[in-house]
Amino acid sequence: MAPSAIYDTAPSLSPSPSSPYRILVPEKLSPEGLSLLRSSGYQVDTPAARPAADELLRLIPAYHALIVRSETKVTAEVLAAAGPKLRVVARAGVGVDNIDVDAATKKGVVVVNSPSGNIVAAAEHTIALLLAAARNVGRADAGMKAGRWERGRLVGVEVGGKTLGVVGLGKVGMKVARMAKGLGMGVVVFDPYASAEVARQAGVELRGELEAVVREADFLTVHTPLLASTANLLGEKELRSMKPTARVLNVARGGVYNEEALLRALDEGWIAGAGLDVFTSEPPAEGSVAARLAAHPKVVSTPHLGASTVEAQENVSMDVCRQVVAILSGGLPTAAVNAPLILPEEYRRLQPFVKLVERMGSLYTQHFAGERGGMVGGRRFELVYHGELAGVNNTRPLLAALVKGLVSSISDLGGRDVNIVNATLVARERGIAIDEKHVRDVGGGAVVPTYASAVTLRSVSSDGGFDGEKEEQVIEGYVSGRAVYISKLGRFTANFQPQGTLLILHNYDEPGKIGNVGTALGRHGVNISSMQVAPLHGGSVVVGGDGGGRSTESDDGSLADSESRAANEALMILGVTGDVTQDVLQELGKSEGILHVNLVRLE
């Protein structure tokens, strides 16, 4: 099998020690998460008390990242006050109800959360409430503390042999179902998006209608987000159709059950009891329906403890902090709410290609467009994925990387304002159109068939055709291990790493050229750290060509001699250190046989 770019661990994302980024954490976060941020070189501010709304408006303009839990409200007003610095808002938890995601998206701010960090905690709390509701644990505890011995009044029911209805077979719902199976319960599920095969493998029975699950359940638990489609999902109709001995559970989101209908169901005996961890208002306002539910004798209530375990708090904290570090360092988040979800295995596969594509975009602008006044706008580009990479469906991070690379050398912020949320908008504003193609055969245009994946970047004219034979603007690259390589630059076959400061000389491949260039650079104190000669691809004769190639007649006017010489064109690609001034470039450009010189600076 050819090598591929899939790592056991993601590349280091630590910024330089001089990183100017500031992070505001107005709510309690685990010490491990804060330590990760600080050890990555960022300034982290943790106010002693959570700032009030007006204070947050005053503070936020100074920050590049904001990490919150459930209490801080990140409104459109807060996001507008943030100005251009803010790049990411992170929610240390699952829900983002307290964040105006639409406003963040319009502003180009990435919103991330931790959808997996508290799965076990939420599932275990659901089972705890299930057992507590079945055995009247809450009322028994309160009675004992009040000096009452009410053994005869608090007869419960066993859960073994009973049916648990699960609404929402996501990660938490699946975990609860498996735990319930361990208690000897049968499990029936309603989830319009669930796979029948996954349900079968889990040993649960999938139902096509919510009503079927509601009627069968002895216990009913919901595990859905609070959306327009799930608000009041379980109302009077559903509760009236349940068994009078049934009990309901909610460790998901307040509002999935219609609270007024649930209160009536308990008062009038439609159902036997409930275990509630979440409410429509938290803490429940005095006298509200939520408060009456929390105090109801048939309800075991807890103050939103579903994710409140030491382990879960550490998990979600570390998860979102890693994502903040990744975003501020130019990497990929693993759970962006307002962009396609990047799964861990996709992260490991895409991360090196994000780096490659960004370098290809920057190289294009500096090598090709640089000769034409830095013009990138008004062009269309083809970004072609070859081989295994063509099988990745979520390539939005690669598109964003290309936009960032294309504009990095011609924007005031060096492309740092481009992310996976606003990349399409930035491209549209600059007149850049990008087409993506997936080619399963790595040899389909790429010249690195020994590698499992490759990328081709091709410039296309506005009318849909290539820019012409004299301007074939193509860059191809691949990944090997942790390193990225360019395998084709224009018409020339190459194999170099796009990094640092590069001098790219288009010249006739004749004896003495390397020595002359080295001597010229030495006179100016410029050191050559690496060098490669890239020959003309295929050895074909092309008059004119990529960025500076031109026809020249011999002394006797023979075009044939000129064409013969053009057949020996090459690129000399030098990695250099030292101050490459305009004088150096001019001297090199005047050297015999040098057709063009480009200075390219890559991170």
The string of pLDDT tens digits covering residues 294-328 is: 999 999 999 999 988 889 888 999 999 999 998 88
Position 345 confidence tier, pLDDT thresholds 50, 70, 90: low
Mean pLDDT value of segment 563-588: 84
Assigned CATH topology for domain 341-490: 60s Ribosomal Protein L30; Chain: A; (3.30.1330)
Position 378 confidence tier, pLDDT thresholds 50, 70, 90: low
What's the pLDDT score for residue 557? Answer: 43
Q: Count CB atoms within 10 A of the CB of residue 540.
A: 9
CATH of domain 500-603: 3.30.70.260
C-alpha 244/C-alpha 134 separation (Å) is 14
Instruction: Output the DSSP codes for 48-60.
Output: SSPPPHHHHHHHG
If you search the block for the tokens 């294009």, which residue do you land on? 364
Which residues are known to be catalytic?
253, 282, 304
Q: What is the DSSP-derived secondary structure letter of residue 146?
A: T
What's the pLDDT score for residue 99? Answer: 93
C-alpha 91/C-alpha 110 separation (Å) is 11
Per-residue tokens: 161: 């042999």
Is pLDDT at 15 greater than 80 in this prediction?
no
Angle made by CA atoms 126, 127, 129, in degrees to the nearest 5: 65
Q: What are phi and psi of 458, to 5 degrees?
A: -130, 135
- Name the CATH superfamily for 119-301: NAD(P)-binding Rossmann-like Domain (3.40.50.720)
Name 111's bridge partners: 89
Q: Count CB atoms within 10 A of the CB of residue 346.
A: 18
Is pLDDT at 6 greater than 70 in this prediction?
no
What's the pLDDT score for residue 318? Answer: 94
Q: What is the pTM of this model?
A: 0.59
Among 132-141, 469-478, 594-603, the range of highest mean pLDDT? 132-141
CB environment 549-578: b (16+ within 10 A), e (fewer): beeeeeeeeeeeebeebbeebbbbbbbbee
C-alpha 392/C-alpha 383 separation (Å) is 14
Is pLDDT at 556 greater than 70 in this prediction?
no
- 360 vs 18 pLDDT, higher one: 360
Q: Confirm whether 22-116+311-338 and 119-301 share one CATH topology.
A: yes
Is pLDDT at 44 greater than 70 in this prediction?
yes
Q: Count CB atoms within 10 A of the CB of residue 544.
A: 13
Mean pLDDT value of segment 20-48: 93
Assigned CATH topology for domain 22-116+311-338: Rossmann fold (3.40.50)
Is pLDDT at 563 greater than 60 in this prediction?
no
3-state class of 260 per DSSP?
Answer: helix
What's the pLDDT score for residue 552? Answer: 37
The rounded mean pLDDT for the chain is: 84
Angle made by CA atoms 334, 383, 537, in degrees to the nearest 5: 130
Q: Where are the domains of the chain?
A: 22-116+311-338, 119-301, 341-490, 500-603
- Give CA separation, 436 vs 126, 427, 453, 468, in Å: 44, 14, 15, 21
What's the pLDDT score for residue 470? Answer: 44
Mean pLDDT value of segment 62-84: 93
Instruction: Output the DSSP codes for 238-256.
Output: HHHTS-TT-EEEE-S-TTS
What's the pLDDT score for residue 370? Answer: 58
The string of pLDDT tens digits covering residues 386-415 is: 998 988 888 888 998 899 888 877 765 566
Is pLDDT at 109 greater than 80 in this prediction?
yes
Instruction: Output the DSSP codes for 300-346.
Output: EE-SS-TT-SHHHHHHHHHHHHHHHHHHHTT---S-BTTS----HHH
Q: Letter for the amino acid at 356? A: L
Per-residue tokens: 217: 């359940």
What's the pLDDT score for residue 430? Answer: 76
What's the pLDDT score for residue 351? Answer: 83
